[in-house]
Structure 1
Amino acid sequence: MRAGIKQLLPNPNVSADVIFVNADKLMDLVGTQSNNEFFLKLTEAPITISSQYVFVTLVNLSDYFNFITNENGEIIKHIFESNVRDYQGHTSVNKDIQESLENPSTEDFWWLNNGVTILASKASLTTGKEIGITDPEIVNGLQTSTEIYKYFCTAIERLNQEKRNILVRVIVPDSEESRDKIILATNSQTNIPKASLRATDSIHRQIEMYLRNRNLYYDRRKNYYKNQGKKVT
Structure 2
Amino acid sequence: MDRITKQLITDLFNSQEKSETNPSDDFEYFCNYAVLSSEYNKTFDADTITIGSGDDTGIDGIGIIVNGHLVEDQNEVDDLLDSNGYLEITYIFVQAKTSSSFDSAEMHKFYFGVKDFFAENPTMRRNEDITKFAEISNYILDNASHFRENPKCKLFYVSTGVVNAEDTTIEAVRLDSEKQLDTLNLFERINSILLGSNEIGKLYRKTKNPTSATFIFSNKVTLNETDGINQSYYGVLPFKEFKKIIIDSNDNIKSVFDDNVRDFQGSNNPVNKSIAETLGSETPNLFSVLNNGVTIVASTIKPSGNNISIFDYQIVNGCQTSNVLFEYRNDSEIDEMEIPVRLIVTEDEDIKSQITVSTNNQTAIKKEQLTAMSDFQKNLELYYNSIEGDGRLYYERRAKQYNSDRTVVKRRIVTVSNQIKSFSSMFLNNPHMVTSYYGTIVKKVGESGSSIFEKDHQFATYYLAGLAFYRLDSLFNSGVIDTKYKKIKFFILMLVTKLATDEKIQHLNSKRLVEKFCDPILAILNDQTKTENLFKEAVKIIDESGVDINDKQFVKSKSMTDGILNKWKENAT
What is the TM-score when the length of structure 2 is the normalising length?
Answer: 0.30
2:323 pairs with one of 120, 136, 146: 146
Q: Is the 8 A contact 1:119 1:172 kept in 2?
A: yes
2:353 pairs with one of 180, 191, 196: 180
Give the Cα separation in 1 of the matches to 2:303 and 2:443. 34
The alpha-carbon deviation at position 144 of structure 1 amounts to 0.3
Report the residue type matching 1:172 in the other structure: V
In structure 2, runs of 5+ residues without a counterpart are: 1-42, 44-206, 382-396, 398-413, 426-430, 447-555, 559-573
1:7-48, Cα deviation, whole Å (9 max, x unpaired): xxxxxxxxxxxxxxxxxxxxxxx9x96232221322x34101
- Is 1:41 paired with 2:264? no
> Tell me, what secondary structure is at the counterpart of 2:324?
helix
The alpha-carbon deviation at position 173 of structure 1 amounts to 3.1
Q: Is the 8 A contact 1:84 1:197 kept in 2?
A: no
The alpha-carbon deviation at position 107 of structure 1 amounts to 4.7
Give the Cα separation in 2 of the matches to 1:172 and 1:221. 32
Quick one: structure 1 residues 33 and 103, their matched pair in 2 at CA, closer, same or farther if it must change by over 3 Å? farther
Quick one: structure 1 residues 33 and 187, their matched pair in 2 at CA, closer, same or farther if it must change by over 3 Å? farther
The structure with more helix, counted as a fraction of residues = 2
Query: Larger RCO: Structure 1 or Structure 2 (Cα < 8 Å, ≥ 6 residues apart)?
Result: 1
1:64-103 equivalent positions in 2, closer than 5 A: 64-77=242-255, 79-89=256-266, 90-103=268-281
The alpha-carbon deviation at position 111 of structure 1 amounts to 0.8
Give the Cα separation in 2 of the matches to 1:148 and 1:110. 12
1:70-118, Cα deviation, whole Å (9 max, x unpaired): 11101012x1111111111212211110011111428542111000000
Give the Cα separation in 2 of the matches to 1:131 and 1:68. 15
Quick one: structure 1 residues 74 and 198, their matched pair in 2 at CA, closer, same or farther if it must change by over 3 Å? farther
> Tell me, what secondary structure is at the counterpart of 1:114?
coil
Q: Is the 8 A contact 1:84 1:198 kept in 2?
A: no
Quick one: structure 1 residues 88 and 163, their matched pair in 2 at CA, closer, same or farther if it must change by over 3 Å? same
Give the Cα separation in 2 of the matches to 1:93 and 1:68. 20
Q: Is the 8 A contact 2:300 2:346 kept in 1?
A: no
Mean CA deviation greater in 82-91 or 60-69: 60-69
Equivalent in the alignment of 2:283: 105
The alpha-carbon deviation at position 197 of structure 1 amounts to 4.3
- Is 1:119 paired with 2:297? yes
1:168 pairs with one of 341, 346, 356: 341
The alpha-carbon deviation at position 211 of structure 1 amounts to 4.8
Report the residue type matching 2:311 in the other structure: T
Report the residue type matching 2:322 in the other structure: S
The alpha-carbon deviation at position 221 of structure 1 amounts to 8.5
Give the Cα separation in 1 of the matches to 2:312 and 2:421. 24
Q: Is the 8 A contact 1:108 1:165 kept in 2?
A: no
> Tell me, what secondary structure is at the counterpart of 1:123?
strand
Q: Larger Rg: 1 or 2?
A: 2
Quick one: structure 1 residues 176 and 101, their matched pair in 2 at CA, closer, same or farther if it must change by over 3 Å? same
In structure 1, runs of 5+ residues without a counterpart are: 1-29, 224-230
- Is 1:137 paired with 2:314? yes
Q: Is the 8 A contact 1:199 1:221 kept in 2?
A: no
The alpha-carbon deviation at position 176 of structure 1 amounts to 2.0
What is the TM-score when the length of structure 1 is the normalising length?
Answer: 0.68
The alpha-carbon deviation at position 68 of structure 1 amounts to 0.6
1:148-203, Cα deviation, whole Å (9 max, x unpaired): 00112xxx2x2376221101101023622211111111012433144354444132
Quick one: structure 1 residues 176 and 85, their matched pair in 2 at CA, closer, same or farther if it must change by over 3 Å? same
> Tell me, what secondary structure is at the counterpart of 2:328?
helix
- Is 1:219 paired with 2:442? yes
Q: How many residues align?
A: 190
> Tell me, what secondary structure is at the counterpart of 1:67?
helix
Quick one: structure 1 residues 161 and 120, their matched pair in 2 at CA, closer, same or farther if it must change by over 3 Å? closer
Q: Is the 8 A contact 2:213 2:244 kept in 1?
A: no
Q: Is the 8 A contact 1:119 1:136 kept in 2?
A: yes
Q: Displaced runs of 4+ in structure 1, greater than 3 A?
A: 49-52, 193-200, 204-207, 209-218, 220-223
Give the Cα separation in 2 of the matches to 1:109 and 1:142. 15
Report the residue type matching 1:46 in the other structure: K
Give the Cα separation in 2 of the matches to 1:182 and 1:132. 21
Quick one: structure 1 residues 117 and 179, their matched pair in 2 at CA, closer, same or farther if it must change by over 3 Å? same
